[in-house]
Amino acid sequence: MYTDVIMAGFGGQGIMLIGDILTYAAMHENKRVTYMPTYGVEMRGGTANCTIMISDEEIGSPMTGHPYSVIVMNGPSLVKFQPKVRPGGFLLVNTSLVEATAVTRADIDTLLLPANDIALELGNGKIANMVALGGYVERTQVVSLESIKKTLPKAIAERYHKTLPINIKAIETGAQLARRG
């Protein structure tokens, strides 16, 4: 088994955090995993992305130009990453911030989730990232939702642990919508 995912959005959307959570969940399932953050000259409000590789075997390159999956949380990331998804791959797009009509690939599985709107409905606009993570995990089955929930406290700083229930709720909601879609 081998898969990878690029998660991309603005700095501040919690992209790196959901990358961390997925990585911990893969570790929990005794899989090999690498996590590579965007690396370069970064600025506040700029783009942020990370690449995660998950496999049963030794992982070579920690980066890829042809990802199996991409989670796009903002417009610039769709422009950058939509063309790179492997044929037959998976693209999740946050349609709260990206025009659904801009999603044009027909040769891949796509999931359109208005993640920010769903997060606001749940009562916290900051958890759009968790909605997307839930949708990604449910659709790809790369790790189990149980592993995600179990390892969540490891990835989230202790001072934010009071937010665990609403984060879990957001992940579950994302997953549920992915099932329906």
Does 83 interact with another protein (rule: CB under 8 A)?
no
If the CB atoms of residues 85 and 178 are measured against another protein, the closer one turns out to be: 85
Q: To which residue do tokens 């590789």 refer?
A: 53
12, 46, 56, 66: which one binds another protein (CB under 8 A)? 66
Q: Tell me how far, at minimum, the Cβ of 19 lies from another protein, in Å.
A: 9
1, 43, 65, 157: which one binds another protein (CB under 8 A)? 65
If the CB atoms of residues 154 and 179 are measured against another protein, the closer one turns out to be: 154
Does 33 interact with another protein (rule: CB under 8 A)?
yes
Rounded Cα distance, 172 and 14, in Å: 17
CA angle 49, 54, 59 (to 5 degrees): 100
Does 179 interact with another protein (rule: CB under 8 A)?
no
If the CB atoms of residues 30 and 104 are measured against another protein, the closer one turns out to be: 30
Radius of gyration of the chain (CA): 15
Burial class (CB in 10 A: 0-12, 13-18, 19+), 28: middle
Q: Which residues contact 1 (CB under 8 A, 6 or more apart)?
A: 31, 54, 55, 56
Residue 45 identity:
G
Does 20 interact with another protein (rule: CB under 8 A)?
yes
Single out the segment in contact with another protein by CB under 8 A; choices: 21-29, 69-77, 87-95, 121-129: 21-29
